[in-house]
Each structure stands twice: as structure tokens, then as C-alpha cells.
Amino acid sequence: MSFQIRPATEADIPEVHAINTHYVTNTVVTFLQNPAPLSSTFSKFRDFTDRGLPFLVAVDDAKSAGDTAQQQQTVIGYTYLSPFRGAMLSYGPTVELSLFVHKDHTSRGVGSVLLSALLEKIQGGKVKHLAREHAGDPDHEVRAPDGGVPIRNVIACMALDTVDGKEGGEGLRKWYEKRGFAERGRLKSVGYKKGRW
Ligand SMILES: CC(C)(COP(=O)(O)OP(=O)(O)OC[C@H]1O[C@@H](n2cnc3c(N)ncnc32)[C@H](O)[C@@H]1OP(=O)(O)O)[C@@H](O)C(=O)NCCC(=O)NCCS
């Protein structure tokens, strides 16, 4: 299978949403219990990209005769950065990572390539986060000065899936550590899904 990585467009969002819905419904790797509406995935995409944060998709190159260029591409994974802990100016230099590969395309290098493409984009302060927060009333927004703040920290929050996860869930931590992340702590018994903490 060959695939390429490119910035996501609005046209990709329904497929991004479908990939996420699978994990919401069938796993504990996200703590949502019910699929979000498609409109909320569109809103997130617009909010995060308006903030200058990268949102990438992996698309496969399978082709059928007569397809247009857009139809030839299927989204098989995505990754993006989002503000850490909501919209707080002081957290501007810190962002949260989301990374999901389509359930039929895992363990083929897609996640690794998506992650390295995302990290490459922000290396050396290349991407500034146009952090903002509301001040006093909904119409008054305060923005980070100078076109935003360089990103210093990327946080990958993961659930420890002790039942279905590789090595009791520790496999995913190791997956991140192999790719340059370091564990910074564990929150115990903060989420409950599918009958377990
Ligand atoms: C975790 C995930 C992003 C990895 O991407 P991927 O494309 O499947 O992985 P890659 O092909 O790049 O990497 C392959 C390696 O990862 C391992 N791997 C794949 N999925 C894994 C998982 N869920 N947990 C632990 N290790 C995993 C493979 O065994 C392989 O290990 P090896 O190199 O020692 O042989 C992807 O499997 C995924 O989206 N999983 C479900 C959602 C999820 O957990 N996202 C992270 C939320 S924090």
C-alpha cells in the first residue's frame, strides 16, 4: 500500500470523523462514549487550523478508472494539534496531540509517518500557535501577541487499555517513547468506560 501525507481539507473531515467514530464506539482509547456529531469535527478542524496548528491526513493512492483526483484518495489516518486544556492564553506554548489510524490500516507505518510529519512541521518554532481566550464577554477575544507563540511542548495523553491494548496498554506508551516522547505522569482512575477505569 502506498500513501501520502498532506494537510487536511474540509473535504476530508467526514472520513476523519468516521475513523474517530470507530474508536469512540468500540474502544477505550478515547474517553468519549458517544460519537460526536459531524459538525463538531468540522468545528474542531476550523478552530485548530485558524490557530495555525497543523492538521494532517494520510491518504492512500488506490485508484479506480474514471475517478477524479479527489475520489482517488481515501483517508486512512489523521493527526492534529489542539490547544491544551481548552482555550487559555498561558497554555499557548503547549498543545495536545491526536493521532488515529483507520482500523484496517494499522501497523503499516501510517501512524509513525503521520507523527514524524507533524513533529517536523513544528520543529524549531516554525509553527506559532495563535492562542486566544475570551476576556469578559463573548465578543472580546484576547490573542497572543506577535502572531502567536512558538510551540514548546506536545502532550500525547493516552488511555492505558489494560484489556485490549498491546502489553496491557504499555505497548502504546512504548510506541510513543520510541518516537521521542517521555512519560510525564499518570492520572489514575479519572476515566470510566466500558465497565472499567
Ligand atoms: C497507535 C497508532 C497511532 C499507531 O499507528 P500505526 O500506523 O498502527 O503504527 P505503525 O505502523 O506506525 O508502527 C508499528 C508499530 O507499532 C505497533 N503498534 C501498532 N498499534 C499499536 C498500539 N495500539 N499499541 C501499541 N503498539 C502498536 C506495532 O506493533 C508496530 O510495532 P513494531 O515496530 O515493534 O513492530 C494506531 O495503531 C492507532 O491509531 N491506534 C488506535 C488509536 C490510538 O490508540 N491512537 C493513539 C491515541 S493516544
Query: 16-29, pLDDT tens digit by residue?
Result: 999 999 999 999 99
Rounded-to-10 torsion of CA 149, 47, 74, 59: 0
Indicate whether residue 171 lines ligand 1 (CB < 6 A). Answer: yes
CA distance 187 to 32: 17
Q: Which of 52-56, 62-66, 158-162 has the highest mean pLDDT?
A: 52-56
Query: What pLDDT is attached to residue 61?
Result: 82
Residue position matching grid coordinates 494520510:
58
CA distance 23 to 19: 7
* Closest protein CA for atom 44 of ligand 1: 29
Task: Give the residue ranges of DSSP H helices in the chain.
Answer: 13-26, 38-50, 110-122, 170-178
Q: Does domain 3-178 have CATH number 3.40.950.10?
A: no
Q: CB-based burial of residue 189 (10 Å sphere; 0-12 exposed, 13-18 middle, 19+ buried)?
A: exposed
**Average pLDDT over all residues of the chain:** 93
What does the pLDDT look like over 74-104, one tens digit per residue? 999 999 999 999 889 999 999 999 999 999 9
- What is the 179 CA–ligand 1 centroid distance (Å)? 11
List residues bridging with 101 in a β-sheet.
77
Query: What pLDDT is attached to residue 125?
Result: 85
pTM attached to this predicted model? 0.94
* Closest protein CA for atom 9 of ligand 1: 107
- Checking if the pLDDT of 72 tops 90, the result is no
Query: What pLDDT is attached to residue 67?
Result: 60
Indicate whether residue 106 lines ligand 1 (CB < 6 A). Answer: yes
What does the pLDDT look like over 130-164, one tens digit per residue? 999 999 998 999 999 999 999 999 999 999 999 99
> Residue 126: which pLDDT band, with cuts at 50, 70 and 90?
confident
How is the chain split into domains, by residue range? 3-178
- Checking if the pLDDT of 69 tops 70, the result is no
- What is the 112 CA–ligand 1 centroid distance (Å)? 8
- Checking if the pLDDT of 63 tops 80, the result is no
What does the pLDDT look like over 156-185, one tens digit per residue? 999 999 999 999 999 999 999 999 999 999
Query: What pLDDT is attached to residue 80?
Result: 98
CA distance 48 to 28: 24
